[in-house]
Structure 1
Amino acid sequence: MSTLKHRWPTWFALALVVATFADGLPALEFLAWLLVGMSVCYLIFGALRGELRRPGVLMLQTAGLLGFGVLAMVALAVDHSLGWYVLAAGWLGHAAWDFAHHRAKMVVPRAWAEWCFVVDLLGAAAMIFMS
């Protein structure tokens, strides 16, 4: 039972993904901007926790924001049928980003990284299978 309690971010993420995708895909534009917003959250957490002052961290977080932002914009620029796959790739990339931050115990709280990993992974799967 304690294992289930420690996984509260996962349970919360599962509930959010089900609620978001239960009645179909939200607008591509919404999910693209959400990818950018998730990346901005890492910068905000890093600033609030003082982690951006560490050597190279601000540059890495900024590169992540730019990379995910480019993927989001490409997804919006191409035909929607292809855009869903580009956006899903961006969300999968962000899931890897979350995993790396969770393992490193840096920039964001581990609970946030766990929650975001599950949302990104399942959200990407929904985009791939529902588009």
Structure 2
Amino acid sequence: MARQQSRADIVSGVIIALTALAGVAVWSRLPAEVAIHFSASGRPDNYVSKPVGVVLMPALMIATLVVLKWTFRYDPPDVPHVAATVTVATMAFMGAIHGLVLAWNLGYPVPFDLVLVGSLVWAAFVVGYAVKTEYAHG
């Protein structure tokens, strides 16, 4: 019998597909060398070819999804929806980062100080949610 996909799996798959489609949609406007990593000052410090730049994040998202699924199967949280929330939030975060990288490579200004603050707020929210939910249950 085939394992039924959870809503979190479906939502995560849609986020990964949209992330991949975003790169395909802007392919013709991207430079041949795509910046994929930036210093704290917002200057690019690592470039890859356009095909790698478009495919890398969706591939990392799939790998991350597999690792999260395996981890939550090996050591499930006491509250099952914590795993789903963490998984979807992680896929959304990675997709957003890919969107910002694409935007920068298309010439749009990306406020890296706000990206850093947003990343820290995201991490605090997800960790706080998971700890609070697990603590309230236990």
Q: Structure 1 or 2: larger strand share?
A: 2
TM-score tier after normalising by the smaller chain length: 0.3 to 0.5
Larger relative contact order (Cα-Cα within 8 Å, sequence gap ≥ 6): 1
- The TM-score normalised by the length of structure 2 is 0.43
Q: Which has the larger radius of gyration?
A: 2
Q: Structure 1 or 2: larger helix share?
A: 1
- The TM-score normalised by the length of structure 1 is 0.44
